[in-house]
Structure 1
Amino acid sequence: MNTIAKRIRRFTLVFFIIIFLLPQNTPIISAATNKAVYEYSPMLEDRGNIYYIQRVESDEYSYDIYRLEVATGKKTRLLSSENDILGMMIHNDTLYYTSYTLEKDVYQNKTYSVSIDGKDKKTICNGYFICLDDSGIYYIVSKGKESKLYKREYNSKKATLIYTGNMTFSFVKNLDNTLYFTQFNEASSKLTLYTLTPEQTKLAVLTTNKITLNGSERTPLVSDITKINGDIYYQYGTYEGSGSYWYGTLIKLDSSTKKNSVIAEQSYEEQINHNDSSIFYIGTESSGKNYRYNTKTGKTSSYICKITGTGSFNILGDKTYSAKADGKELIVVSRFTSGTNKSNLVKPFINLPYKQKKEFEYSASVKKYGDFLLIPVTCMDYSDTSHGWRGRCVSVTWYVADSDGKILAQFK
């Protein structure tokens, strides 16, 4: 998506997240029931099934986990929760999820499990689970000024404390069965990356960056990390302003020298978009420039790829997808080679029949889960004064397609 449109849309999503994470007993303006699967909500793919969370808004909120069997289009509700669900994963036919609960006027995270047929629901632990592997479940418990990382085997109630850090301690990603964590130390102005493998009982320091703050920034963190041709690439930065816009620095950690080098001093997307040989990132809001860093040669080249209006710009490996509403009856999805100004353009790659009303505004994007492409189409009413200039989300319709662009299923 072009930078300006993407940042405006991000601000809107941030607003919705703040509103939707209000306590469950907060009265809402209308008692009319509204159901939606929002773009920011957790979602996953497992063995040809899509698991998603539908938020039901009425006099009271509920959060329903559904399984969509893509091959048949069958939708099954696995459970309904009174509390917002913050994340979910599957291991050995068991779905694990974290939600927040209000206990003694304090919000706490709790992790639960349920079998994929919706039976045998259990409470696993207090805390936010971050990762699962064959050896156990990893989760973080935050209290006061401390964050503690625990690991627990699936068939045990005893947890092992792995690390105690400050409130900036957080999980970044699981890459090739290695877990990556980050923490900022305000006293030393150092941002540290840690690693943990299943056989380890202590975190190992991967690298440290000295960061000078001018007092206006929020706490720096690592937003994403990836490995290409043996080298580690990661991005640290801060969310700035009322819209929580991302300003980051892209770093390469050389596998042979163990030295850091800056690839891009200013990046505007939290995620590192890449394929097996290149990293792609956008330039400033007004330039329309995009950049391609060749991980084999170390050279950076630029290209122009402008997307107008509410059109999206989603880089998914070797292919980039653009989705845009035609204002009438179609959502048009195009596809072209990543890192180019629409070379090998296929337009339309997908035509979605979708009737649009003049009084609403429509946007679409393309995501990837497993082997499926998912296309959420969002309908907004900006004339609805109940939400001010931010507008009201009328609906979100999700389409599931295969890699050839064939529509297989949909849900909302």
Structure 2
Amino acid sequence: MRTQVGIIGAGPAGLLLSHLLHLRGISSVVLERRSREYVERRVRAGVLEQGTVDTLVEAGVGERLLREGLPHSGIELRYGGAGHRIPFEKLVPGRAITVYGQQEVVKDLIAARLAAGGDIRFDVDDVAVHSLEDAPYVTFGGQRLDCDVIAGCDGFHGISRPAVPDGVLTAYEREYPFAWLGILARVAPSAEELIYAQTERGFALHSMRSPEISRFYLQVPAGEDLAAWPDERIWAELKTRLETVPGFTLATGEIFEKGITPLRSFVTEPMQYGRLFLAGDAAHIVPPTGAKGMNLAVADVRVLTDALARFYADGSTEPLDGYSAACLKRVWRAQHFSWWMTTLLHTFDSDDAYARRLQTSYLDYVTSSEAAATTLAENYVGLPYDAPVPAEHAVPFSGGTP
């Protein structure tokens, strides 16, 4: 088999890349080791930046998103017995977020690709990439796929990044001493917007997936056993951390999904080697506090799509050379914002009174200073997409005119 772009992974990054390339007349094959049912039900992020919404709508896959997504024009920071709203409509006019589950984005993209005759192969095994420097190809299930370029969109634990020779990539990583216990519950949200709660007992987040489904997170110790958290304990702890302002009562309901996710910051540089280009979680991970994971993947894919379109239009490799640098500029901004939100809202050491006072001081500043609140708001809703990176920051692309 032969295609122009071989894509490893059928998450949001791989599927969106395939669809955007299709719109530019560029062929691709998407390989996914999991089943279609699994990837369409896998619960992940649910907050879409303004730029992500715009990208999906412009790509023709935003009809259900616009109909069922929940636009939000602010968030609440809750601490010290009071709630403080960060009003996006005032601080960053015309920009907002939309709550719409990642699995719903995946469903929309799969439907669009299949309707257009796209080649998505689920349940493939023994996937490996070869000859990344000049004539790349992918093997899977006893078959071979030749291509001009390989896009590694297969997540943090995928096969793409480890295929790069030792010593080429530099990893920057930080692990946090806590995790998030997340649940989905059949209960209407108790607030119209997301609530980020900072307490001495730890962080809590009130979110939602629809008018009937709520999403909650609790800070728990790293390595916590999920069996130690029966439903009754989860609701009791959520109430303790969220019912801290007068008049607020947390509605409860049936918990139908729960899990524990460790928090990690990770970046690999560069995000490319030869004819392999990494996108999304294959290249970077952020703690979910800043809601940046899937949004960064969309930004990567936009850059890669434009670069590949230029490559196939006139043979220019300059945009591909600059892919990593262009993406990393945004990645590091999101890394800092996610780290900042995490350190601002989580309890690191219950005995460190000095650190707790610093947290409170900065929360007071963010909620009383329009300049500080604007910084939070513009990062949260998503910064504009960047211009191309100068050539001096480029990574040479192996190969010439296609």
Q: Same fold per TM (> 0.5)?
A: no
Higher helix share: 2
The answer to which structure, 1 or 2, has the higher relative contact order (CA under 8 A, 6+ apart) is: 2
TM-score tier by shorter-chain length is: under 0.3
Higher strand share: 1
